[in-house]
Chains A and B, each alone.
Chain A
Amino acid sequence: MNARTLRALAPLIAVALALIVPLAVSDRFLLKVFTFCGINALVVVGLALLFGYAGQVSLGHAAFMGLGAYTSAYCTVELGWPWLLGFVAAGVVAALGGLILAIPSLRLKGYYLAMATLGFGLLMSLAFIQAEPITGGVDGFSGIPFPSIGPVEFRSASSLYWLVWGAVGIAVLVAHNITSLRPGRAMRALHGSELGAQACGVDIVGVKVRTFVVSALMAGLAGALYAGVVGFISPSLFTLTASITFIAMTIVGGTSSLAGPILAAVALTLVQYSDALIPGLPRETAQTIQSYQEDIYGLAIVLIVIFAPRGLAGLWKRRSAGNEAS
Chain B
Amino acid sequence: MSEFLQFLVAGLKNGSIYALIALGFTIVYAATGAINFAQGEFFMLGGMLCVSFTDLGMPLPVAAVAAIAATAAIGAAFELLAVRPIAGDSPLRIIMVTIGGAVVLRQLALHFFGPDERALAPFTEGASLKAFGVAVELQTLWIWGLTALAVVALALLYRKTAFGRAMRATAIRRDAARLVGINAGMMVTVAFALAAGLGALAGVAVAPLTQTAFGVGAAIGVKGFAAAILGGIGNPITAVAGGLLLGLLESFAAGYFDPAYKDGVALVVLLVVLFVAPQGLLAKAGRVKV
**When the two chains form their complex, are residues B101 and A302 in contact, meaning their CB atoms are under 8 A apart?**
yes
**The one of A109, A120, A298 that contacts B104, using a Cβ cutoff of 8 Å:** A298
**When the two chains form their complex, are residues B278 and A108 in contact, meaning their CB atoms are under 8 A apart?**
yes
**When the two chains form their complex, are residues A295 and B107 in contact, meaning their CB atoms are under 8 A apart?**
yes
Task: Give, as a whole number of angstroms, the nearest-CB distance from A91 to chain B.
Answer: 24
- Chain B residue nearest to A243 in the complex (CB): B99
Q: Which of A33-41, A68-76, A110-118, A314-322 is near enough to bind chain B?
A: A110-118
Complex interface: chain A residues within 8 A of B85 (CB): 306
Interface size, chain B (Cβ < 8 Å): 40
**When the two chains form their complex, are residues A126 and B271 in contact, meaning their CB atoms are under 8 A apart?**
no
Task: Give, as a whole number of angstroms, the nearest-CB distance from B272 to chain A.
Answer: 9
Residues from 33 to 92 in B contacting A, C-beta threshold 8 Å: 34-35, 37, 82, 85-86, 90-92
- Chain A residue nearest to B271 in the complex (CB): A119
> What CA separation (Å) do A291 and B99 show in the bound complex?
19
B153 at the A interface (CB under 8 A): no
- Chain B residue nearest to A307 in the complex (CB): B85
Q: Which of B123-131, B240-248, B260-268 is near enough to bind chain A?
A: B260-268
Complex interface: chain B residues within 8 A of A195 (CB): 290
> What CA separation (Å) do A247 and B95 show in the bound complex?
11
**When the two chains form their complex, are residues B274 and A116 in contact, meaning their CB atoms are under 8 A apart?**
yes
Interface size class of A (residues with CB under 8 A): 35 or more
> What CA separation (Å) do A319 and B3 show in the bound complex?
68
Complex interface: chain A residues within 8 A of B99 (CB): 59, 244, 247, 301
**When the two chains form their complex, are residues A302 and B97 in contact, meaning their CB atoms are under 8 A apart?**
yes
**When the two chains form their complex, are residues A244 and B103 in contact, meaning their CB atoms are under 8 A apart?**
yes
Complex interface: chain A residues within 8 A of B222 (CB): 115, 118-119, 122
Task: Give, as a whole number of angstroms, the nearest-CB distance from B233 to chain A.
Answer: 9
Q: Knowing A110-B95, A130-B260 are in contact, say whether A119-B82 is a contact too (CB < 8 A).
A: no
Complex interface: chain B residues within 8 A of A120 (CB): 267, 271
Task: Give, as a whole number of angstroms, the nearest-CB distance from B67 to chain A.
Answer: 22
A47 at the B interface (CB under 8 A): no
**When the two chains form their complex, are residues B270 and A115 in contact, meaning their CB atoms are under 8 A apart?**
yes
B100 at the A interface (CB under 8 A): yes
**When the two chains form their complex, are residues B267 and A123 in contact, meaning their CB atoms are under 8 A apart?**
yes
A173 at the B interface (CB under 8 A): no
B20 at the A interface (CB under 8 A): no
Chain A interface (Cβ within 8 Å of chain B)? 55, 57, 59, 104-105, 107-112, 114-116, 118-120, 122-123, 126, 130, 195, 240, 244, 247-248, 251, 291-292, 294-295, 297-302, 305-306, 309
Name 17 interchain pairs, CB-CB below 8 A, sorted by A: A104-B271, A107-B278, A109-B91, A110-B90, A110-B92, A114-B35, A115-B35, A115-B229, A119-B222, A126-B263, A130-B260, A251-B96, A298-B106, A302-B101, A302-B104, A305-B86, A305-B93
